[in-house]
């Protein structure tokens, strides 16, 4: 594995010069100490790879910020029989690391459309838009035509490379769409969302155009409903949404592409032909619930096998889209199980490509409002109750920590979401009265008719909770602010990279710099 050089630490320099030779180190036999010295030797031997990148693989776990990644690390480590904290996910073994700023041109907190755009065009833009410069207004039908940005897929396909998109979300969703589409509104996934006489095509129709242009060669994910006309049912009985009578699946098949819709048909693809895989009417299933659909690792393997037929190389964007959806739902269990599937996909890719010629980048588009609670002892189940620290041991005591209300709390929660401990107060109508101007009591309904709608009142207290309840796959983590869907957060996300020019990822970077490193790597002399 070709990885960058790393400066010796101060301690490492002392060791190298023998400065510690006259000092007896009482900790020198500790495994922590010997492991640290071994790691210093590994880091000191790292050299940068300055060759041209034949291939680029951009892994994006949607909503998988530093906190969510931390939860996944513990989950995977605990599932493998350890305490979890010391576990190393495949991407965490990569030598190059940066923190990435995710804000957009109009949002301290981003959505997935402009963040994916930044990675695919090198330019930051407005929330809700995909590959459209700020010169084009949000929700404007003329924006994509007048302010559309050149994508990385257009650049590399012009170099003769193949392009692939893999996602567990709909292929027309914000992150995968950023590989091939330009839209002033991320929700225009099929023609039903477009304003009348709109100059811009919908996202699914733009995928057909990308097929014609040769800027995409392999697509797998969900979203069949956006490709089929209303009145036509798909292979699993769901109805299409298009009202323009276009069957985009048939159109793409007519261009020489293979169409697959489940694990069985996907296992029979011919790598000499391009592939369209649509495995659900909407998003693919969560990893926890997967049945009859390929895993993210399997789709990644199929994509690399197919795209590798091109001697000029490829660009592949792989998205674990449902990490984000599980966080929005406040369901940490499905967030970490999809996060584990994401790690499996990375491990699969690493095993299949030559690290000397393949730049692999692993990052997230944004984080969520996830938070970690209390003083938990080691090995505390990350989706469950926070156990007390054993003062004289290593693993937790097995006794839950409790708040001032005397009730236990989970190791992780959310600042807002559907799991809020606050509940709306709904008073009985007979009691919700006040006097009108004539001194007569009127009902709350009459009052609302006369006045502005009353703001709902909320109250609440935390329920008591057992470990069995907290670790149930369907448990929604406790949250503070009541929301119908938990929100993103604006904090930095991590980026981990390996391969040609991956050493350019360092420090704290703007998100649009990801494009610039990829572009530099494929054009290096």
- Say if strands 441-443 and 162-170 run parallel, antiparallel, or are unpaired: unpaired
Summarised one tens digit per residue, pLDDT across range 156-166 is 999 999 999 99
pLDDT at 452: 58
The stretch 133-141 carries a mean pLDDT of 93
Q: Is a pLDDT exceeding 70 seen at residue 453?
A: no
CB contact at 8 A, 286 and 331: no
> Quick one: which of 302, 305, 289, 292 has its CA closest to 341?
289
Q: Is a pLDDT exceeding 60 seen at residue 15?
A: no
pLDDT at 458: 79
Looking at the chain, the domain(s) classified CATH 3.40.720.10 span 55-369+487-523
CB contact at 8 A, 366 and 101: no
**Distance of alpha carbon 395 from the chain centroid:** 31
pLDDT at 451: 57
The stretch 461-489 carries a mean pLDDT of 95
Own/partner pairs, 13-17, CB within 8 angstroms, 24+ separation: 15/40
Extract the annotated binding site for Mg(2+).
Answer: 62, 173, 175, 319
428 confidence band (pLDDT: 50, 70, 90): low
Catalytic residue numbers? 112
Q: Is a pLDDT exceeding 60 seen at residue 176?
A: yes
- The radius of gyration of the chain from alpha carbons, rounded to an integer in Å, stands at 26
pLDDT at 324: 98
Range scoring the smallest mean pLDDT among 14-23, 195-204, 261-270, 395-404: 14-23
Summarised one tens digit per residue, pLDDT across range 211-221 is 999 999 999 99
Extract the annotated binding site for Zn(2+).
Answer: 62, 324, 328, 365-366, 488
To the nearest whole number, what is the mean pLDDT of the chain?
A: 91
H/E segment holding residue 352:
helix 332-352
CATH number among 3.40.50.12780, 1.10.357.10, 3.40.720.10, 3.40.50.300, domain 55-369+487-523: 3.40.720.10
Extract the annotated binding site.
Answer: 62, 173, 175, 319, 324, 328, 365-366, 488
């Amino acid at each position: 594995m070709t990885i960058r050089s790393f400066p010796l630490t101060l301690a490492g320099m002392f060791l190298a010069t023998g400065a510690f030779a006259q000092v007896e180190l009482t900790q020198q036999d500790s495994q922590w100490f010997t492991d640290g010295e071994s790691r210093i030797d590994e880091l000191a031997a790292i050299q940068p790879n300055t060759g041209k990148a034949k291939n680029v693989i951009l892994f994006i776990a949607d909503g998988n910020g530093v906190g969510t990644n931390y939860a996944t690390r513990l989950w995977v480590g605990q599932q493998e029989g350890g305490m979890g904290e010391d576990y190393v996910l495949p991407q965490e073994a990569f030598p190059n690391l940066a923190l990435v700023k995710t804000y957009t041109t109009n949002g301290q907190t981003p959505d997935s459309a402009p963040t994916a755009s930044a990675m695919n065009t090198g330019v930051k833009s407005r929330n809700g838009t995909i590959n459209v410069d700020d010169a084009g207004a949000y929700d404007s039908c003329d924006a994509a035509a007048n302010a559309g940005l050149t994508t990385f897929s257009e650049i590399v396909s012009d170099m003769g490379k193949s392009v692939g998109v893999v996602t567990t979300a709909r292929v027309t969703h914000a992150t995968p769409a950023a590989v091939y589409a330009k839209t002033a509104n991320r929700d225009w996934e099929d023609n039903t969302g477009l304003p009348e006489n709109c100059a811009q095509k919908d996202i699914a129709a733009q995928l057909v155009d990308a097929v014609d242009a040769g800027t995409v060669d392999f697509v797998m994910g969900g979203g069949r409903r956006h490709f089929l006309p209303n009145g036509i049912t798909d292979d699993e009985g769901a109805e299409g949404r298009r009202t323009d009578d276009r069957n985009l699946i048939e159109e793409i098949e007519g261009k020489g592409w293979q169409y697959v819709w489940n694990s069985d048909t996907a296992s029979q693809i011919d790598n000499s032909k391009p592939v369209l895989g649509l495995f659900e009417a909407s998003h693919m299933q969560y990893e926890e619930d997967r049945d009859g659909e390929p895993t993210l690792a399997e789709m990644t393997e199929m994509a690399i096998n197919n795209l590798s037929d091109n001697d000029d190389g490829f660009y592949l964007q792989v998205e674990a889209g449902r990490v984000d959806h599980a966080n929005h739902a406040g369901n940490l269990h499905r967030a970490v199980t999809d996060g584990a599937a994401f790690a499996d996909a990375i491990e699969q890719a690493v095993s299949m490509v030559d690290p000397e010629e393949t730049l692999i980048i692993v990052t997230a588009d944004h984080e969520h409002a996830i938070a970690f609670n209390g003083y938990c002892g080691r090995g505390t189940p990350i989706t469950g109750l926070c156990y007390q620290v054993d003062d004289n041991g290593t693993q937790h005591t097995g006794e839950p920590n409790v708040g001032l209300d005397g009730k236990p709390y989970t190791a992780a929660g959310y600042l807002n979401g559907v799991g809020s401990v606050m509940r709306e107060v709904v008073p009985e109508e007979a009691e919700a009265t006040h006097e009108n101007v004539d001194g007569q009591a009127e009902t709350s309904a009459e009052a609302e008719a006369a006045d502005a709608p009353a703001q709902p009142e909320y109250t609440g207290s935390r329920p008591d909770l057992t470990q069995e309840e907290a670790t149930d796959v369907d448990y929604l983590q406790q949250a503070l602010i009541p929301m119908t869907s938990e929100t993103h957060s604006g904090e930095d996300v991590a980026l981990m990279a390996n391969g040609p020019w991956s050493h350019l990822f360092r420090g704290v970077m703007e998100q649009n710099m990801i494009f610039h490193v990829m572009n530099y790597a494929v054009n290096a002399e």
